[in-house]
Amino acid sequence: MRPNTVLLAPLALFASGALAFYPYTPPWLKELEEHNAGEAKRSTENGMTFDIRRRASRRAPASQEEKAAWQAALLAHKYNERSPPNPSHDSKLSKRGNQFHIMEAVDPKTPNTAGLDQDGTDYSYFVEALIGSQKTKLYMLLDTGAGSSWVMGSDCISQACSLHDSFGPKDSSTLKTSSKDFSIAYGSGSVSGSLVNDTIEVAGMSLPYQFGLATNTSSDFVHFAFDGILGMSMNSGANENFLSALESAGLLQKSIFSVALARASDGYNDGEVTFGATNPSRYTGSITYTSIPAGTDWSIPLDDMSYNGKKASAGGINAYIDTGTSYMFGPAKNVKALHSVIDGAQSSDGVTWTVPCDTTTPIVVTFSGVDHPISPEDWVSPKDSTGKCTSNVYGYEVVSGSWLFGDTFLKNVYAVFDKDQTRIGE
């Protein structure tokens, strides 16, 4: 149970795929890749270490040509990708047979609940999905901003697919293909392929489901540990979103789901998503609900933001709540207003702000008069090679005229997405 955790109920979903899974790697994260690449153990700043173990791969032994291609991909990954902040306590990270570290979640005890694994960096959070007659296990990003679901197909020849587990006809006798194509854009990333039908099992619930089988993915997906995306928006995209599919299958008493994200630096991954209910052990206090404005997605009006008691006048617009986005983004003027009340904050471009590394004060966001502190563990980055720290609140207007609150925010709340009553509880 998380102390002083609050509830954020239903938010509306992104109708456009461009609003979901916003792939952004800040400079401080790119810089650290060299330090951690290939380590069997990782060390924290206070000297503690945790093991990395290798997860068995379903792939056949690689040929020399495949090994060469993978090595080239790893070098590109090493010099162009991010590196994780290290957990501060002993923690088991398993390394996938394809190239990615996984910080596995503990098995939840609540019914209809799935653990939320992550990559050990707080960069992305995903569920384990069992697909097809052979129950092929794939990691799928839990994405409240996406109306479409898809996984990497076995026929995909993109670089990202070669580094991930995949799914195809050889993995399931119940797979039904179709001639329907799909194509989705995610920020600077994209994916395309064909729609298929098969069974999918998540959180112990199994149902027939139509999803995308990707034959092409952009290079953005080289940098993420998940093998596909589970669309959890209220709207549907190329296929029916997963929440609606669960509802149609009669597997939920209520069309809601609740999310708790774990912080890697805590050294213990108890992250989870509960479908159709809440888990009272994961929050304290009562729930205050905020209605979703008509015509929007998983978004609610933001009252304001503050720091050390100083109001920033950065609200008055909607904030989209997106489990598929790592950080926080907003219009440059609103982001500037926030950092103007943070002592020592500086920016040369209005996008990225440096802040004092010894900051211990939370940023506070306010919805419906209720304050939600965001820990400096989440909004302040680790030091870069020059000894500077940056704010994880960036001046990118990803959603026109709105804030986009990703995992930096969500690690500090218990979020309940209530489709039935189109509201957010906090």
Per-residue DSSP letter, 391: B
Instruction: Using alpha carbons, list the distances in angstroms from residue 35 to 49, 83, 105, 330.
Output: 14, 8, 25, 31
Q: Which are the contacts of 421, defined by CB distance < 8 A and separation ≥ 6? A: 10, 289
Per-residue DSSP letter, 411: T
* Catalytic residue check, 322: yes
- Residue 321 near residue 298 (C-beta atoms within 8 A): yes
* Catalytic residue check, 143: yes
What is Dmax (Cα atoms) for the chain? Answer: 61
Query: Considering 117, 119, 122, 143, which one is annotated as catalytic?
Result: 143
- As beta bridge partners, residue 127 has 140
For residues 303 and 371, what is the distance between their CA atoms, to the nearest angstrom?
10
Query: Considering 227, 297, 303, 322, which one is annotated as catalytic?
Result: 322
Best CA proximity match to 258, nearest among 241, 236, 280, 290: 280
Structure tokens at 63: 């040929």
Per-residue DSSP letter, 266: G
- As beta bridge partners, residue 304 has 366
For residues 166 and 151, what is the distance between their CA atoms, to the nearest angstrom?
7
- Residue 365 near residue 317 (C-beta atoms within 8 A): no
For residues 276 and 256, what is the distance between their CA atoms, to the nearest angstrom?
5
Query: What DSSP letter does each residue of 291-358 carry, written as one string?
Result: EPPTT-SSEEE--EEEETTEE----SSEEEE-TT-SSEE--HHHHHHHHTTSTT-B-SSSS--EE-TT
Quickly tell me which residue has 């940098």 as its tokens.
223
Instruction: Using alpha carbons, list the distances in angstroms from residue 339 to 25, 148, 384.
Output: 20, 35, 20
For residues 104 and 304, what is the distance between their CA atoms, to the nearest angstrom?
35
Residues with catalytic roles: 143, 322
